[in-house]
Amino acid sequence: MILHDFYIGASFDAYTFFGAHPAEKGFLFRVYAPAAEKVALFGDFNGWMEEEMQLLGTSGVWELTVLQAAEGQLYKYVIYSKEGWKCEHCDPYGFSMELRPNSASRLVSLEGYSFSDEGWMKRRQNTFDRPVNIYEVHLGSWHTAPDRENGWYNYEELADRLIPYVKECGYTHIEIMPLSEHPSDNSWGYQNTGFFSPTSRYGTPHQLMKLVDRCHQAGIGVLMDFVPVHFALDYYGLARFDGSYLYEFPHDDVGLSEWGSKNFNHSRGEVASFLQSAAAYWLGVYHFDGLRVDAVSRLIYWQGDEKRGVNDRAVKFLQNMNAGLKKLFPSCMLVAEDSTSYPKITAPVQYDGLGFDYKWDLGWMNDTLDYFRTPPKERPDKYHKLTFSMHYFYQEHFLLPFSHDETVHGKATILQKMWGDYDQKFPQARAMYLYMMTHPGKKLNFMGNEIGQLREWDEKREQDWDLLRYPLHDGFYHYIRRLNQLYLTHPSLSAGEYDARSFLWLEVKGEKNCVYAYLRGPMVNTPTASKANKKENLWQQPADRTVSVFNFSDRAAAGYRINLPVPMELRPLICSDSDIYGGGFCGELPALRPQYDPIKGNWFVQTDLPPFSGILYSAHPLHKPTPVHCPAGIRSKR
């Protein structure tokens, strides 16, 4: 690390200089505390008796080599302020900490684990035209160990259970909620004290490396939730670290967050270097494939309030961090959790963007869930809540999330949000998830959603896996698995999805019946395509195309007509109302042959749509179509 770069906010490797590192003998300790009167070090290696550290000139860096220090031992810094008080602190750059409520840092060497994921790391590349289906998980409450006092499996044990489950369910990535050390379980990791310390709740740094390594060997990417906005108030952390406001703002109106934590002062170069280095640390040392950056709105606007204006320094920090991470790790995935309409979140920094790869589409999430809360008789008036997302979709690279935020704090779980009684919720949720998986955008689903969990998430309890003993929940689980597999095996559902030519509404005026339909896949030979593209006649070229049809009303839609841009046969892939998933339709779905309307001059298909249902078809354009009679359609028990 170059100290000048650290001061000006250009460092991404500050963790290689600061913290505790193995020396030729013992460990070398360095801490940044420019306003301190004196800094001392104590720990297991000296009987917790203070040893004074040496200030390196006017650098603000304090240093000490302890020959008797050994891996596994605990330590703290004692900061003496110029005002005459002292405070014990964990190491801001410490690589491990002891389990809460204790707060000392632990000496570890990061060199002791050898990864076996070279092939994965070399193959890892941009995912814009590939399926991304993320399973969001909180490691402490996915499955718990009933024979242990704390109830936690360690990172290696979780790998034994989580990897096979994620593979069989058809997810491409795991997103782990924050793993940086945190003092309170119910903060879920969003209020950190150890930004370079994997939480000791689930084991050691090397065990976490092994979890990521094994995921890669199984073909699963791993993302981590990263929190660069604020930090925990606890005295032993970063707050008033050297007696001054080193990491935080000095004024509470911008220094305190809505969560009661301290906001980082991103205008300080040392703070920017600290956070950028933490991001690079997780991507480099632990081989994480990407970061989901929390609370981006609080970085863009002061306190997340658009009325207070843009925080230019924090925006600049984001741009510098993302550009630097992309230079160091070109194939990493950077995801913004952002609820604002601030432009160019996913545009490259060189084009004045923030440099993220993806942005959570929280507007889509809110509109979708609001629609399905609505009684069916009121849904015609809210019909365009489900079409609005495509009006703005191509402004950013969006990811569609049903995250942990939607299953807590009295909001009810995803299944519970559906209108109606217990039996009515399932068909709507099945149809809604088909809508999600076929709508353009990458996907994220929080643990428990896939089994139709009815109880809000509680970090102290594991998921209600016993629900799978009940037919509706078991059917729902197998339905989600099948949907995920279809998403992975049909390129039309991911390739080219950020190109407007890959999506076409087939029914977008079905307010009366709450019917929607759209086509996914290469379609440049459409009425709106250029003449040059029409000449290519790409409809006749082999390609994967799919058609999704939905009836979100509580009434069947008999003989419903879906207009087609060209003659094509629709072959069924999945029906959300199938009895094998707990629905009311029995038997095989018919293929739909196109018919020609000589009066309107267009091709169409007709089918019967059960209430609260969705059907996914593979679409096959016909070279020499011949009109056929309307098929018998789908018959429902309802």
474 is catalytic: no
Query: What is the C-alpha to C-alpha distance for residues 41 and 118, in angstroms, rounded to an integer?
Result: 39
**Burial classification of residue 535, based on how many CB atoms lie within 10 Å of its CB (0-12 exposed, 13-18 middle, 19 or more buried):** exposed
Q: Following CA atoms 347, 349, 355, 360 in sequence, which dihedral angle do they give, to the nearest 10 degrees?
A: -40
Q: What pairs with residue 21 in β-bridges? A: 28
Identify whether 101 is preceded by a cis peptide bond (ω within 30 of 0): yes
Report the relative pairing of strands 173-176 and 133-137 from DSSP bridges. Answer: parallel
In sequence order, what are the residues at sequence separation of 6 or more whose Cβ sits closer than 8 angstroms to the Cβ of residue 158? 139, 142, 143, 202, 211
195 and 278 in contact (C-beta within 8 Å)?
yes
* Token code pair at residue 615: 């059907």
Q: Which amino acid is at 390?
A: M
Of the candidates 410, 484, 406, 485, the one whose C-alpha atom is nearest the C-alpha of residue 448 is 406
Q: 3-state secondary structure string, 208-260?
A: HHHHHHHHHHCCCEEEEEECCCEECCCCCCCCCCCCCCCCECCCHHHHECCCC
Helix (H, G, I), strand (E, B) or coil at 284: helix
Beta strand spans in 461-556 (E): 503-510, 515-520, 546-551
248 is catalytic: no
605 and 551 in contact (C-beta within 8 Å)?
no
404 and 188 in contact (C-beta within 8 Å)?
yes
Query: What is the C-alpha to C-alpha distance for residues 468 and 478, in angstroms, rounded to an integer?
Result: 10
Phi, psi of 407 (to 5 degrees): -130, 20
26 and 75 in contact (C-beta within 8 Å)?
no
The one catalytic residue among 91, 270, 294, 361? 294
Q: Which amino acid is at 153?
A: Y
The one catalytic residue among 213, 248, 337, 361? 337
**Burial classification of residue 319, based on how many CB atoms lie within 10 Å of its CB (0-12 exposed, 13-18 middle, 19 or more buried):** middle
DSSP assignment string, 401-449: EE-GGGGSTTS--HHHHSSSSHHHHHHHHHHHHHHHHHSSSEEEEETTG
Report the relative pairing of strands 398-402 and 358-360 from DSSP bridges. Answer: parallel
Catalytic residues: 294, 337
